Protein backbone atom coordinates (compact mmCIF):
# COMPACT_ATOMS: atom_id res chain seq x y z
CA UNK A 1 0.00 0.00 0.00
CA UNK A 2 1.84 3.10 -1.27
CA UNK A 3 1.72 6.37 0.59
CA UNK A 4 -0.52 8.83 -1.24
CA UNK A 5 -0.46 12.53 -0.42
CA UNK A 6 -2.86 15.10 -1.78
CA UNK A 7 -1.25 18.32 -2.95
CA UNK A 8 -2.37 21.64 -4.36
CA UNK A 9 -1.62 21.24 -8.06
CA UNK A 10 0.33 24.49 -8.25
CA UNK A 11 2.76 23.14 -5.63
CA UNK A 12 3.31 20.10 -7.84
CA UNK A 13 4.47 22.43 -10.60
CA UNK A 14 1.26 22.48 -12.64
CA UNK A 15 0.58 25.87 -14.24
CA UNK A 16 -2.90 26.30 -12.84
CA UNK A 17 -2.64 29.59 -10.94
CA UNK A 18 -4.64 32.68 -11.91
CA UNK A 19 -1.64 34.02 -13.85
CA UNK A 20 -0.90 30.67 -15.57
CA UNK A 21 2.02 30.17 -13.19
CA UNK A 22 2.84 27.66 -10.48
CA UNK A 23 4.47 27.55 -7.02
CA UNK A 24 6.42 24.30 -7.32
CA UNK A 25 7.61 23.16 -3.89
CA UNK A 26 11.21 21.95 -3.94
CA UNK A 27 11.02 19.72 -0.86
CA UNK A 28 7.83 18.01 -1.96
CA UNK A 29 8.80 17.43 -5.57
CA UNK A 30 12.58 16.90 -5.33
CA UNK A 31 12.94 15.09 -1.99
CA UNK A 32 9.69 13.66 -0.67
CA UNK A 33 8.46 12.60 -4.13
CA UNK A 34 10.90 9.69 -4.12
CA UNK A 35 8.96 8.13 -1.25
CA UNK A 36 5.31 9.00 -1.86
CA UNK A 37 2.73 9.23 -4.63
CA UNK A 38 1.04 12.60 -5.13
CA UNK A 39 -2.59 13.22 -6.03
CA UNK A 40 -2.85 16.85 -7.27
CA UNK A 41 -5.94 19.01 -6.86
CA UNK A 42 -6.76 22.51 -8.07
CA UNK A 43 -10.16 23.41 -6.64
CA UNK A 44 -10.46 26.61 -8.64
CA UNK A 45 -9.97 24.84 -11.96
CA UNK A 46 -12.19 21.98 -10.77
CA UNK A 47 -15.13 24.36 -10.30
CA UNK A 48 -14.75 25.76 -13.80
CA UNK A 49 -12.46 28.78 -13.46
CA UNK A 50 -10.21 29.39 -16.44
CA UNK A 51 -6.44 29.60 -16.77
CA UNK A 52 -5.55 32.45 -16.65
CA UNK A 53 -8.37 34.02 -14.67
CA UNK A 54 -9.22 37.09 -12.59
CA UNK A 55 -8.01 36.93 -9.01
CA UNK A 56 -10.47 35.89 -6.30
CA UNK A 57 -10.50 36.67 -2.60
CA UNK A 58 -12.54 35.97 0.50
CA UNK A 59 -14.98 38.81 1.18
CA UNK A 60 -17.11 39.13 4.30
CA UNK A 61 -20.65 40.23 3.54
CA UNK A 62 -22.55 40.30 6.81
CA UNK A 63 -22.30 36.80 8.26
CA UNK A 64 -21.36 35.26 4.91
CA UNK A 65 -17.91 34.92 3.36
CA UNK A 66 -17.94 35.02 -0.42
CA UNK A 67 -15.07 33.84 -2.59
CA UNK A 68 -15.26 36.24 -5.48
CA UNK A 69 -13.47 38.79 -7.61
CA UNK A 70 -12.36 41.96 -5.79
CA UNK A 71 -15.56 43.73 -6.91
CA UNK A 72 -17.67 40.99 -5.32
CA UNK A 73 -18.84 39.39 -8.55
CA UNK A 74 -18.54 35.74 -9.56
CA UNK A 75 -18.89 34.11 -6.13
CA UNK A 76 -17.53 30.53 -6.31
CA UNK A 77 -17.59 29.89 -2.57
CA UNK A 78 -20.49 27.40 -2.65
CA UNK A 79 -18.96 25.52 -5.58
CA UNK A 80 -15.57 25.31 -3.85
CA UNK A 81 -17.19 24.08 -0.66
CA UNK A 82 -19.17 21.43 -2.54
CA UNK A 83 -16.06 20.25 -4.37
CA UNK A 84 -14.11 20.18 -1.12
CA UNK A 85 -16.80 18.09 0.54
CA UNK A 86 -16.82 15.68 -2.40
CA UNK A 87 -13.05 15.18 -2.23
CA UNK A 88 -13.11 14.96 1.56
CA UNK A 89 -15.84 12.33 1.71
CA UNK A 90 -15.17 10.31 -1.43
CA UNK A 91 -11.40 10.45 -2.01
CA UNK A 92 -9.49 11.62 1.07
CA UNK A 93 -9.72 8.21 2.79
CA UNK A 94 -7.13 7.05 0.25
CA UNK A 95 -4.70 9.79 1.32
CA UNK A 96 -2.24 9.80 4.21
CA UNK A 97 -1.60 13.54 4.14
CA UNK A 98 -2.22 16.74 2.22
CA UNK A 99 -0.02 19.72 1.33
CA UNK A 100 -1.97 22.89 0.55
CA UNK A 101 -1.02 26.29 -0.82
CA UNK A 102 -0.66 28.92 1.90
CA UNK A 103 -2.86 32.04 1.92
CA UNK A 104 -5.00 30.81 -0.97
CA UNK A 105 -8.73 31.64 -0.62
CA UNK A 106 -9.47 28.07 -1.67
CA UNK A 107 -6.53 26.08 -0.25
CA UNK A 108 -5.01 28.05 2.63
CA UNK A 109 -5.01 26.24 5.97
CA UNK A 110 -4.92 29.35 8.15
CA UNK A 111 -4.29 33.11 8.06
CA UNK A 112 -6.15 33.59 4.77
CA UNK A 113 -7.04 37.24 4.18
CA UNK A 114 -10.73 38.09 4.54
CA UNK A 115 -11.60 41.50 3.06
CA UNK A 116 -14.42 43.76 4.08
CA UNK A 117 -17.13 44.38 1.51
CA UNK A 118 -15.75 47.78 0.56
CA UNK A 119 -12.32 46.30 -0.09
CA UNK A 120 -10.67 48.86 2.19
CA UNK A 121 -9.27 46.46 4.76
CA UNK A 122 -8.74 42.83 5.65
CA UNK A 123 -7.94 40.48 8.50
CA UNK A 124 -5.92 37.26 8.33
CA UNK A 125 -8.56 35.07 9.94
CA UNK A 126 -9.77 32.90 7.07
CA UNK A 127 -9.39 29.28 6.06
CA UNK A 128 -9.44 28.21 2.42
CA UNK A 129 -12.91 26.94 1.52
CA UNK A 130 -11.63 23.68 0.01
CA UNK A 131 -9.21 22.96 2.86
CA UNK A 132 -11.87 23.73 5.45
CA UNK A 133 -13.89 20.81 4.10
CA UNK A 134 -10.86 18.52 4.22
CA UNK A 135 -10.26 19.36 7.88
CA UNK A 136 -13.94 19.14 8.80
CA UNK A 137 -14.53 15.68 7.35
CA UNK A 138 -11.03 14.22 7.93
CA UNK A 139 -9.82 15.38 11.34
CA UNK A 140 -7.13 12.68 11.45
CA UNK A 141 -5.60 13.57 8.07
CA UNK A 142 -2.24 15.38 8.42
CA UNK A 143 -2.50 18.67 6.53
CA UNK A 144 0.26 21.26 6.13
CA UNK A 145 0.95 24.38 4.11
CA UNK A 146 3.88 24.82 1.74
CA UNK A 147 5.24 27.84 3.60
CA UNK A 148 5.23 26.10 6.98
CA UNK A 149 7.23 23.23 5.49
CA UNK A 150 10.23 25.59 5.45
CA UNK A 151 10.32 25.27 9.24
CA UNK A 152 12.41 22.14 10.02
CA UNK A 153 10.32 21.29 13.11
CA UNK A 154 6.98 21.61 11.30
CA UNK A 155 8.36 19.73 8.29
CA UNK A 156 9.58 16.83 10.42
CA UNK A 157 6.33 16.73 12.37
CA UNK A 158 4.18 16.66 9.24
CA UNK A 159 6.14 13.83 7.62
CA UNK A 160 6.12 11.95 10.91
CA UNK A 161 2.33 12.18 11.11
CA UNK A 162 1.94 11.12 7.48
CA UNK A 163 3.93 7.94 8.08
CA UNK A 164 2.18 7.13 11.36
CA UNK A 165 -1.24 7.69 9.81
CA UNK A 166 -0.30 5.54 6.82
CA UNK A 167 0.79 2.76 9.18
CA UNK A 168 -2.60 3.01 10.88
CA UNK A 169 -4.44 2.89 7.55
CA UNK A 170 -2.43 -0.22 6.64
CA UNK A 171 -3.31 -1.81 9.98
CA UNK A 172 -7.01 -1.17 9.38
CA UNK A 173 -6.86 -3.08 6.11
CA UNK A 174 -6.68 -6.23 8.25
CA UNK A 175 -9.32 -7.67 10.62
CA UNK A 176 -9.28 -5.68 13.86
CA UNK A 177 -8.04 -7.38 17.02
CA UNK A 178 -6.92 -6.25 20.44
CA UNK A 179 -3.59 -7.97 19.83
CA UNK A 180 -3.03 -5.94 16.65
CA UNK A 181 -3.88 -2.69 18.46
CA UNK A 182 -1.55 -3.57 21.32
CA UNK A 183 1.28 -4.43 18.94
CA UNK A 184 0.78 -1.15 17.09
CA UNK A 185 0.89 0.79 20.36
CA UNK A 186 4.01 -1.09 21.42
CA UNK A 187 5.78 -0.13 18.21
CA UNK A 188 4.92 3.57 18.56
CA UNK A 189 5.40 3.72 22.34
CA UNK A 190 8.52 5.87 22.46
CA UNK A 191 7.48 8.07 19.56
CA UNK A 192 4.30 8.87 21.44
CA UNK A 193 6.19 9.35 24.70
CA UNK A 194 8.51 11.90 23.10
CA UNK A 195 5.56 14.06 22.08
CA UNK A 196 3.25 13.77 25.07
CA UNK A 197 4.00 11.49 27.98
CA UNK A 198 0.50 11.79 29.45
CA UNK A 199 -1.04 10.61 26.17
CA UNK A 200 1.29 7.61 26.20
CA UNK A 201 -0.04 6.66 29.64
CA UNK A 202 -3.69 7.32 28.74
CA UNK A 203 -3.63 5.36 25.49
CA UNK A 204 -1.84 2.46 27.13
CA UNK A 205 -4.54 2.40 29.79
CA UNK A 206 -7.23 2.55 27.10
CA UNK A 207 -5.89 -0.61 25.46
CA UNK A 208 -5.22 -2.30 28.79
CA UNK A 209 -8.86 -1.93 29.83
CA UNK A 210 -10.34 -2.76 26.40
CA UNK A 211 -12.89 -5.54 26.02
CA UNK A 212 -13.45 -7.64 22.94
CA UNK A 213 -16.92 -6.25 22.19
CA UNK A 214 -15.94 -2.57 21.92
CA UNK A 215 -12.89 -2.74 19.68
CA UNK A 216 -14.15 -0.36 17.00
CA UNK A 217 -14.75 2.37 19.57
CA UNK A 218 -11.42 1.64 21.23
CA UNK A 219 -9.64 1.85 17.86
CA UNK A 220 -11.35 5.16 17.09
CA UNK A 221 -10.48 6.62 20.50
CA UNK A 222 -6.92 5.36 20.18
CA UNK A 223 -6.10 6.83 16.78
CA UNK A 224 -7.75 10.15 17.64
CA UNK A 225 -5.67 10.31 20.81
CA UNK A 226 -2.49 9.33 18.99
CA UNK A 227 -2.83 11.83 16.15
CA UNK A 228 -3.77 14.59 18.59
CA UNK A 229 -0.67 13.84 20.68
CA UNK A 230 1.51 14.00 17.54
CA UNK A 231 -0.13 17.17 16.21
CA UNK A 232 2.68 19.42 17.47
CA UNK A 233 6.46 18.94 17.24
CA UNK A 234 8.05 17.20 20.21
CA UNK A 235 9.95 19.49 22.58
CA UNK A 236 13.61 19.05 23.44
CA UNK A 237 12.54 18.17 26.96
CA UNK A 238 10.19 15.46 25.70
CA UNK A 239 12.81 14.03 23.36
CA UNK A 240 15.53 14.10 26.02
CA UNK A 241 13.31 12.40 28.59
CA UNK A 242 12.49 9.68 26.05
CA UNK A 243 16.17 9.16 25.30
CA UNK A 244 16.81 8.79 29.02
CA UNK A 245 14.11 6.09 29.19
CA UNK A 246 15.87 4.29 26.36
CA UNK A 247 19.19 4.67 28.13
CA UNK A 248 17.77 2.59 30.96
CA UNK A 249 17.86 -0.51 28.76
CA UNK A 250 21.66 -0.39 28.81
CA UNK A 251 22.38 0.16 32.50
CA UNK A 252 23.80 -3.36 32.84
CA UNK A 253 25.37 -3.47 29.39
CA UNK A 254 27.52 -0.35 29.12
CA UNK A 255 30.77 0.57 30.78
CA UNK A 256 30.94 3.64 32.98
CA UNK A 257 32.57 5.59 30.17
CA UNK A 258 29.89 4.55 27.66
CA UNK A 259 27.11 5.54 30.07
CA UNK A 260 28.75 8.90 30.58
CA UNK A 261 29.10 9.41 26.83
CA UNK A 262 25.40 8.73 26.30
CA UNK A 263 24.35 10.98 29.19
CA UNK A 264 26.48 13.82 27.86
CA UNK A 265 25.06 13.47 24.33
CA UNK A 266 21.50 13.60 25.68
CA UNK A 267 22.30 16.63 27.85
CA UNK A 268 23.94 18.45 24.95
CA UNK A 269 20.81 17.86 22.90
CA UNK A 270 18.58 19.06 25.74
CA UNK A 271 20.59 22.30 25.90
CA UNK A 272 20.31 22.81 22.14
CA UNK A 273 24.00 22.29 21.45
CA UNK A 274 23.53 19.38 19.03
CA UNK A 275 20.62 18.15 16.88
CA UNK A 276 18.51 15.12 17.75
CA UNK A 277 20.36 12.74 15.47
CA UNK A 278 23.50 12.96 17.65
CA UNK A 279 22.19 11.23 20.81
CA UNK A 280 19.78 9.16 18.74
CA UNK A 281 22.59 7.73 16.61
CA UNK A 282 24.50 6.79 19.74
CA UNK A 283 21.50 5.00 21.25
CA UNK A 284 20.89 3.20 17.96
CA UNK A 285 24.50 2.06 17.91
CA UNK A 286 24.04 0.31 21.24
CA UNK A 287 20.67 -1.13 20.20
CA UNK A 288 22.38 -2.83 17.28
CA UNK A 289 25.51 -3.76 19.22
CA UNK A 290 23.56 -5.54 21.97
CA UNK A 291 20.65 -6.68 19.76
CA UNK A 292 17.99 -5.25 22.09
CA UNK A 293 15.00 -6.89 20.38
CA UNK A 294 12.25 -4.69 21.87
CA UNK A 295 14.00 -1.49 20.82
CA UNK A 296 14.86 -2.81 17.37
CA UNK A 297 11.16 -2.72 16.46
CA UNK A 298 10.54 0.79 17.81
CA UNK A 299 9.29 3.29 15.21
CA UNK A 300 10.97 6.06 17.20
CA UNK A 301 14.31 5.26 15.61
CA UNK A 302 13.10 5.28 11.99
CA UNK A 303 9.61 6.79 11.65
CA UNK A 304 10.29 7.82 8.03
CA UNK A 305 13.07 7.32 5.44
CA UNK A 306 16.49 8.41 6.71
CA UNK A 307 17.20 9.89 3.26
CA UNK A 308 14.91 12.80 4.10
CA UNK A 309 17.43 13.94 6.77
CA UNK A 310 14.65 15.42 8.85
CA UNK A 311 16.34 14.96 12.22
CA UNK A 312 19.44 16.85 11.16
CA UNK A 313 17.71 20.19 11.74
CA UNK A 314 15.81 19.61 14.98
Q: What is the pLDDT of residue 185?
A: 97
Q: Are residues 115 and 12 in the same domain?
A: yes
Measured CA to CA in angstroms, residue 23 lies from 104, 161, 303 at distances of 12, 24, 28
Last residue of a domain, one of 150, 182, 217: 150
Q: Are residues 136 and 251 in the same domain?
A: no
Last residue of a domain, one of 150, 169, 194: 150
Q: What is the pLDDT of residue 119?
A: 87
Q: Cα(144)–Cα(136) distance, rounded to whole angstroms?
A: 15
| Backbone phi and psi for residue 3, each to the nearest 5 degrees, phi listed first | -85, 120
In a domain, 113, yes or no: yes
In a domain, 300, yes or no: yes
Q: What is the pLDDT of residue 212?
A: 73
Last residue of a domain, one of 119, 150, 181: 150
Q: What is the pLDDT of residue 309?
A: 95
In a domain, 138, yes or no: yes
Q: What is the pLDDT of residue 268?
A: 97
In a domain, 100, yes or no: yes
Q: Are residues 9 and 144 in the same domain?
A: yes
pLDDT in tens, the chain (314 residues): 799 999 999 999 999 999 999 999 999 999 999 999 999 999 999 999 999 999 999 999 999 999 999 999 999 999 999 999 999 999 999 999 999 999 999 999 999 999 999 888 999 999 999 999 999 999 999 999 999 999 999 999 999 999 999 999 999 999 999 999 999 999 999 999 999 999 999 999 999 999 877 899 999 999 999 999 999 999 999 999 999 999 999 999 999 999 999 999 999 999 999 999 999 999 999 999 999 999 999 999 999 999 999 999 99
Q: Containing domain of residue 280, as a range? A: 242-312
In a domain, 264, yes or no: yes
Dihedral angle, C-alpha 29, 31, 36, 38, nearest 10 °? -10
Q: Are residues 17 and 133 in the same domain?
A: yes
Q: What is the pLDDT of residue 112?
A: 97
Q: Cα(314)–Cα(160) distance, rounded to whole angstroms?
A: 13
In a domain, 225, yes or no: no
| Strand 4-8 relative to strand 37-41, pairing | parallel
Q: Are residues 133 and 267 in the same domain?
A: no
In a domain, 130, yes or no: yes
Q: What is the pLDDT of residue 307?
A: 95
Q: How many domains does the chain have?
A: 2
- Contact of 40 with 12, CB cutoff 8 Å: yes
Q: What is the pLDDT of residue 287?
A: 96
In a domain, 201, yes or no: no
Amino acid sequence: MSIKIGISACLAGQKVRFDSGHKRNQFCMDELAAHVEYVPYCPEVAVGLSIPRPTIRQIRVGDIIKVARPDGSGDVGPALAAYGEKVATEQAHQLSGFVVCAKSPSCGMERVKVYNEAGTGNSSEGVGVFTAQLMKHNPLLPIEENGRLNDPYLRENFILRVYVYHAWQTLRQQPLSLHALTQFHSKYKYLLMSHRYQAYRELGKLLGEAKGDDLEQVASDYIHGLMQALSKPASRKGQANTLMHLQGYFKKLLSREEKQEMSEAIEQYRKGLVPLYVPLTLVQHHVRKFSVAYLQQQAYFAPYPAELRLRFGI
